[in-house]
A and B are shown apart, each in its own frame.
Chain A
Amino acid sequence: MTDLLYSEEEEALRAAVRDLLTDHCDAPGVIARAESDTPHALEAWKALADGMGLAGLLVPEDKGGQGATHREVAVVLEELGRAVAPVPYLASAVVATEALLSCDADDLLADLASGRRIGALAVALNVAAGGAYKVVRHEGGALHGELTGIADAVIADVLLVPADDGGLYAVDADAVTVTPQASLDLTRPLATVTLDGAPGRLLGDAEPAVRRALRAGAGLLASEQLGLAEWTLTETVRYLKDRKQFNRPVGGFQALKHRLAQLWLEVVNLRAAARNAADALATGEDADVAVAVAQAYAAPVAVHAAEEALQLHGGIGMTWEHPVHLYLKRAKADSIAYGSAGAHREALAESIDLQAP
């Protein structure tokens, strides 16, 4: 039976990550960095990867990792979502790492696991597992082409690039041109990667590696979305207890109370769906359905929660200074990342034999 609870160890891990983010990743700092040349919270990343070894959770111990599972990774992502933390955890420690686990590249895997290097899969963020993705030309031993919408590429040391010969290649970031794109989600910046005869090292077949990486990304993204939704609900409840209009706390108005209660129900459901996806990815059982269910459910909930948070904060929620917009932008971008809810419903239709008309 799928274990949908959190273990004591997982709760301890959560507490440690939350403490770390409280110290290294507060909202004013995230907002201030968002438009700078260094949007990422590097100190927080260093502490997560170097200090706590969390970049290696999915990597077996004999390959330089922690030998943990998707369940622990999901807990980390919940906390990263709660802090809308601009760190390349999902990109490097989940998606790129999963791609490498499908290849023969133990040295790179160990580099990513230790946090010595940051990796990024050079597939546009909106692509779902099994969906079409752009490839570059492999010609005369070098790679040529342009890839867009690559999450966290601006901070990556190594890019995992699919080519037209069906191979997945490791390319040093120094050997390509990475151009930041103005991104809706300022905390997970996208970039264009241009390869102009860049040397690449063949890692293995791209198709299974990309599919595995994107499926894990989608499934674990649900935990990040859970964290986002939880923060927006908790913060909105706190604000509505405190904010007084008409000589009473705004949260006492039944119409608003009911909306928050409804959100709570959605978050409860999302937690079950996200835990189920994490557990299924860990055991490998029923993973396709679990991931599709989690993503089909998570995206609208996280967006709804962030939109309600903004509306119920009133004018202050429309300001740049208040962090709620970071959550809205992340939630909206997440609703497209690794496939939209609609794409996951369609994928599900195949798996559960409820075919389209």
Chain B
Amino acid sequence: MTIDAAELRRRTGELLDACPPDTTDRLDFLRARFDAGLAWVHYPEGLGGLGAPRSLQVVVDAELEAAGAPDNEPRRIGIGLGMAAPTILKYGTEEQKQRYLRPLWTGEEVWCQLFSEPGAGSDLAALGTRAVREGDDWVVNGQKVWTSSAHIARWAILIARTDPDVPKHAGITYFLCDMTDPGVEVRPLRQITGEAEFNEVFLTDVRIPDSRRLGAIGDGWKVAQTTLNNERVAIGGMRLPREGGMIGPVAKTWRERPELRTHDLHQRLLKLWVDSEVSRLTAERLRQQLVAGQPGPEGAGMKLAFARLNQEISGLEVELRGEEGLLYDDWTMRRPELVDFVGRDAGYRYLRSKGNSIEGGTSEVLLNIVAERVLGLPSEPRTDKDVAWKDLAR
């Protein structure tokens, strides 16, 4: 049968009748919602969905919100929902999908991402964490870095080198790693804001059964593309009202604090306000293109604009605040579970936004993507594609 909005409303009503939110345990409700196919309606039946169009998810969400139903705290489990799940869905075996997707969606099991390494950032495909086959297991050794949620994660998506003798893209395999394995050591990585949002993860003789391999041996790079494409969409793609991003706090400061205003800052603020509004309109236009079935390449630029604006606007606000701009709200070392780029004081926002042009693909790499994939310009001469990984310069 076709699943349309009316049908989704009917099924949502059934769920709410069977599990009234005010008398149902939160987790029981989330599990029931998943089993009813109302978790992510575009997923297949039996895996939390109904094979419905993704655009109809809002129908379910609105009904549930109106009924006061609990959600799965999507911001806490963003890596699982946004990166691990689509990858497992696309490349997982039936058994893997059945095992991992339900607790992932309900938030019972938090996921993290073990991709970046100290020596493999922009050139992620050069990663050196080794996975060596021993019987039915893989034995993994190496170091990963910039791992959010590693300290609360039950599982990780992991890419590791399984064949050092072939070119780098060909020798990588994708695994699902148990973060409770005794060989996994998680250390907080303090950043320039004073906090440790991220972790370093040291893998020492971690044993991963072959049944937790995702995709074929040596296909890890291809599998990882699904994960990475979803990451960039998540970072740049938030829908905002006017003044909804980093421009909001500085505009508020400007309005409330006339004594701080100068002609110089006024012109600079107005320019950034216009840039922010235009960037917001570009994002909105991109969304309309998608709905109209005319996807454009503009999405590649959204994260670039997001990073630049966050940095320039917060930098301006520190300057605007003058004496207060010389202060900082709190240097205490903490391990926050959630990050709010526009939260806290201007100094924090200024420092935190420096990461926006590095995390999830540097602005330099994204500009190359625009130049080469959108504009069709030739890449720089490459010397790394046909060389065995073990012979690369490092």
Residues of A within 8 A of B (CB): 35, 124-126, 148-149, 181-186, 190, 244-249, 253-256, 303, 307, 310-311, 314-321, 325, 328-329, 332-333, 335-337, 340-343, 345-346, 356
Contacts and interface: CB of A to CB of B under 8 A. Distances in A.
Given A184-B326, A336-B322, A315 B264 contact: no
A307 B318 CA distance: 14
26 contacts: A125-B323, A125-B326, A126-B323, A126-B326, A148-B323, A149-B327, A186-B331, A244-B394, A246-B382, A246-B383, A247-B126, A247-B383, A247-B384, A253-B380, A311-B358, A311-B362, A314-B362, A315-B116, A315-B358, A328-B351, A332-B315, A332-B318, A341-B264, A342-B263, A343-B262, A356-B263
B350 A332 contact: yes
Nearest to A306: B354
Given A244-B393, A246-B382, A314 B358 contact: yes
A353 B122 CA distance: 50
B329 interface: yes
Which one of A186, A247, A325 has the greatest number of beta carbons of chain B within 10 Å? A247
B387 interface: yes
Contact of B325 (A35, A184, A315): A184
A335 B319 contact: yes
Contacts of A342: 262-265, 319
Interface of B: 116, 118, 120-123, 126, 145-146, 189-192, 194, 262-265, 311, 315, 318-319, 322-323, 325-331, 347, 350-351, 354-355, 357-358, 362-364, 367, 380, 382-384, 387, 392-394
A332 B208 CA distance: 47
Given A182-B328, A356-B263, A318 B358 contact: yes
A303 B382 CA distance: 34
Nearest to B268: A342
A318 B384 contact: no
A185 B325 CA distance: 10
A341 B123 CA distance: 38
Contacts of A341: 264
Contacts of A318: 191-192, 354-355, 358
8 shortest A-B CB distances, which residue pairs?
A342-B264, A247-B384, A245-B123, A325-B192, A320-B190, A149-B323, A126-B323, A126-B322
- Residue in B123, B194, B354 with the greatest tally of chain A CB atoms within 10 Å: B354
A317 B192 CA distance: 8
A173 B116 CA distance: 51
A320 B200 CA distance: 13
B196 to A, nearest CB: 8
Nearest to A333: B326
Nearest to B318: A332
Nearest to A312: B364
- Chain A interface, >50% SS class: mixed
Pick the most buried of A35, A310, A336, A345: most chain B CB atoms within 10 A of its CB: A336
Contacts of A181: 327
Nearest to B307: A311
B264 A346 contact: yes
B326 A246 contact: no
A16 B392 CA distance: 42
B348 to A, nearest CB: 10
A148 B327 CA distance: 11
Contact of B387 (A186, A247, A255, A332): A247
Contacts of A356: 263
B354 A307 contact: yes
Nearest to A341: B264
B393 A183 contact: no
A253 B380 CA distance: 9
A246 B363 CA distance: 16
A328 to B, nearest CB: 7
A183 B351 CA distance: 13
Given A318-B191, A319-B192, A248 B326 contact: no
A181 B327 CA distance: 7
A321 B187 CA distance: 14
Contact of A184 (B263, B328, B394): B328
B392 A247 contact: yes
A60 to B, nearest CB: 33
Contacts of B328: 182-184
A254 B122 CA distance: 16
Nearest to B363: A311
B350 A315 contact: no
Nearest to B146: A315
Contacts of B383: 246-248
B168 to A, nearest CB: 9
Given A247-B392, A342-B263, 13 more contacts: A182-B327, A247-B384, A310-B354, A315-B145, A318-B355, A319-B192, A320-B190, A320-B194, A332-B318, A336-B319, A336-B325, A336-B326, A342-B319
A346 B264 CA distance: 9
Contacts of A186: 331
Given A247-B393, A315-B145, A190 B319 contact: no
Nearest to A343: B262
A183 B192 contact: no
A345 B265 CA distance: 12
Contacts of A314: 121-122, 358, 362
B377 to A, nearest CB: 12
A121 to B, nearest CB: 15
Given A246-B123, A315-B358, A340 B326 contact: no
Nearest to B381: A248
Contacts of A149: 323, 326-327
B339 to A, nearest CB: 13
A314 B146 CA distance: 11
B319 A340 contact: yes
A161 B344 CA distance: 33
Contacts of A311: 354, 357-358, 362-363
- Pick from A318, A333, A342, A356 the residue with the most CB of B within 10 Å: A318
A317 B354 CA distance: 9
B193 to A, nearest CB: 9
A320 B198 CA distance: 12
B368 to A, nearest CB: 8
B324 to A, nearest CB: 9
Contacts of B123: 245-246
A320 B325 contact: no
